[in-house]
Amino acid sequence: MTPTLKALAFNCSLKASSNKESSSTDVLLRQLLDALASYDVNGDVIRAADYNIKPGVTSDEGDGDDWPSLRKRVLAADILIIGSPIWLGQPSSIAKRVLERMDAFLDEKDGRGRMPSYGKVAICAIVGNEDGAHHSAAEILSALLEVGFTVPSGGPTYWVGEALGSTDYKDLKEPPKAVAEWTRMLASNTAHLATLLKGAQYPGLAGGR
């Protein structure tokens, strides 16, 4: 069956893809995309560190800014996924940069007061050692809601390692049962909501704002 929905995932690891070290964030994102594929969702992963995403809160910050082309891919997708490692108990600085750039949506409403992200679903995937998963997910999902995305039930999938441990998610031979089950549930909820919104966009306000 031809996929009817498209997902775009940002891997917000601090490491560029040129780094020979593998990414735990990428592992969880790939597992999430595999789960979404069973619901006819076709997905791609962008390694955000490979691009020059300039600081700012507009859709184009001038010469050398790679965000305008990435923005087009965000808006062409039905589902946006932010994948982030946890650093200092928070999402990565790169994840925050991606979120900041979508702040521009607040000033890009259509004639019915809708941001360009309306009707699109957003979720996140968080990995790290010790703690910070819930805090990181709260920051990411709150920001995505504010800039117009819709979050399904169970917005994050995540894994955190043992306190003071040295095991990373990428070191596991397979995901823990609870993580695998929740990833599948999140994929189901996400595909369901995205299908509904694709067929019935938010109406907005007659006459705009």
pLDDT tens digits for 163-187? 878 889 999 999 999 999 999 999 9
Q: Does the residue 82 lie in any domain?
A: yes
Q: Does the residue 204 lie in any domain?
A: no
Ramachandran bin of 87, using left for φ above 0, alpha for ψ from -120 to 50, beta for the remaining angles: beta
Q: Does the residue 18 lie in any domain?
A: yes
Q: Does the residue 209 lie in any domain?
A: no
Q: Does the residue 207 lie in any domain?
A: no
Please report, for the domain that includes residue 106, its CATH number.
Answer: 3.40.50.360
Whether 57 has a pLDDT exceeding 60, the answer reads yes
Q: Does the residue 150 lie in any domain?
A: yes
Q: Does the residue 190 lie in any domain?
A: yes
- The reply to whether the predicted model has a pTM over 0.85 is yes
36-72 per-residue burial string, b: 16 or more CB within 10 A, e: under 16: beebebebebbbbbebebbebeebebeeebebeebbe
Q: What is the residue range of 14's domain? A: 5-199
Count: domains in the chain: 1
pLDDT digit string (tens) for 33-50? Answer: 999 999 999 999 999 999
